Amino acid sequence: MSEYIETLDTGQSVGTVQRQVFTFGEAGVGLVLESGRTLAPVSLAYETCGTLNKDGSNAILICHALTGDSHVAGVYREDDPKPGWWEIMIGPGKPIDTNRYFVICSNVIGGCMGSTGPTCANPRTGKPYGAEFPVVTIGDMVRCQRRLVESLGIDRLLAVIGGSVGGMQVLEWSVRYPEKVCAAVPLATTTKHSAQAIAFNEVARQAIMADPKWNGGDYYESGRPEHGLAVARMVGHITYLSDESMRHKFDRRLQDRCELSFDFEADFQVESYLRYQGNKFVDRFDANSFLYLTKAADYFNLENQYGDGSLVAAFSRAQGRFLVVSFTSDWLYPTYQSKTMVKAMKKNGLDVSFCEIEAPWGHDAFLLPNDRLNALIGGFLDRVSAECLSGGDDAV
């Protein structure tokens, strides 16, 4: 997932929002992770917008991508220049209409945006966990989200929606807790990483761990591995774009010069752009969290976890309605992967709609303004609401 997408006109906003924190396991009974280790206490940073109706049936959970956070829509203050990362999609009158739906978005565990992760204090030592933080999975993330949702008085979600690694969480919800999900919208995602996707993540992790300042993950007092993290981000950012988008944005144009420099400065615009993205990322993200989250994405394998190697068997657990969307220029999670999951869903007789959207901008297309995506999600939620809402739109 790229840095927040900048848009000039997002329509009506939800206004100011506030980050909240849900904590469980403070008495020592925390979360037994899929690795077998126990994490306690566990905190989830989350934000909400819209109003929950009387019977809690209009709630939509938004799952963020790899380096996203809970700030999905709105602003923290009236003069805040930077709205939430999906401001174009969520708000009054928008496809995910906060006049009708109660929207929740939480930061995943392992992250560094308010939820329990490597930057948090290890209760055993009082110092940041660092590399002593346990490895977490997409399943662990979803189990924490379920606890949050239930704490808000919600028994069943109207929909779970997310792109990229957020889409993995959507798929996990649909098979782990099928009775808790009326509808699922996985965007630009996959049921398991390809060898190529794992390879890119491993190069990024090695860039961080090769930085001497990483210090085995213990750098919170000595100084961050900024260079390694910046290079890791550069590698990842390339996978979010497409050949066409890079030609359009940069081609072989030079940066602030008319001739080649014949040294190792950034001659080309694309070089300068990647360095900028890497340096900007260092200011807002934690290197250890990047290691843990990429590993969680690599471990995700829906067919092995729930189907003993069969994706059809895995989706036999699902019950809800699905809208699956891919993008033509997404080479990180290409359309054939979406078609594979749709085929497995249909073999189970599930209610599934699929669309491949023509878009030149690569994997990040789900974050960019797109009329077709707006219409698909808005129309799908209209249908789901008519079929699933038991309490109407009457808010408390």
Residues of each annotated binding site for substrate = 233, 364
Identify the bridge partners of residue 23 per DSSP, sorted by sequence position.
43
Marked catalytic residue, from 164, 174, 245, 385: 164
What is the C-alpha separation between 222 and 219, in angstroms, rounded? Answer: 5
363 is catalytic: yes
Marked catalytic residue, from 64, 193, 227, 363: 363
Q: Around Cβ 227, how many Cβ atoms within 10 Å?
A: 18
Those residues whose C-beta lies under 8 Å from the C-beta of residue 82, and which sit 6 or more positions away, are 4, 75
Helix 165-176 with 287-299: angle, nearest 10 deg? 50
Marked catalytic residue, from 227, 330, 338, 385: 330
The angle formed by the CA atoms of residues 374, 274 and 281, to the nearest 5 degrees, is: 75
DSSP code for 282: H
Cβ atoms of 166 and 306 within 8 Å: the answer is no
Q: Which residues are annotated as a binding site?
A: 233, 364
Q: Around Cβ 362, how many Cβ atoms within 10 Å?
A: 24
Residue 12 corresponds to which tokens in the numbers above? 């009506």
Residue 360 corresponds to which tokens in the numbers above? 């030149």
Q: Which residue has the tokens 């840095």?
A: 3
Cβ atoms of 292 and 136 within 8 Å: the answer is yes
Closest to 116 in 3D by CA, of 163, 90, 148, 80: 148
What is the C-alpha separation between 291 and 111, in angstroms, rounded? Answer: 10
Taking CA atoms, 122 is separated from 35, 131, 140, 268, 356, in Å, by: 18, 11, 18, 44, 44
Burial 61-94 (b: 16+ CB within 10 A, else e): bbbbbbbbbbbbbbbeeeeeeebbbbbbbbbeeb
330 is catalytic: yes
What is the C-alpha separation between 121 and 96, in angstroms, rounded? Answer: 36
CA 194 to chain centre: 18
Residue ranges of E strands in the chain: 20-24, 31-32, 38-39, 42-49, 59-63, 90-91, 96-97, 102-106, 159-163, 183-187, 321-327, 352-357
What is the C-alpha separation between 3 and 26, in angstroms, rounded? Answer: 33
164 is catalytic: yes
Catalytic center residues: 164, 330, 363
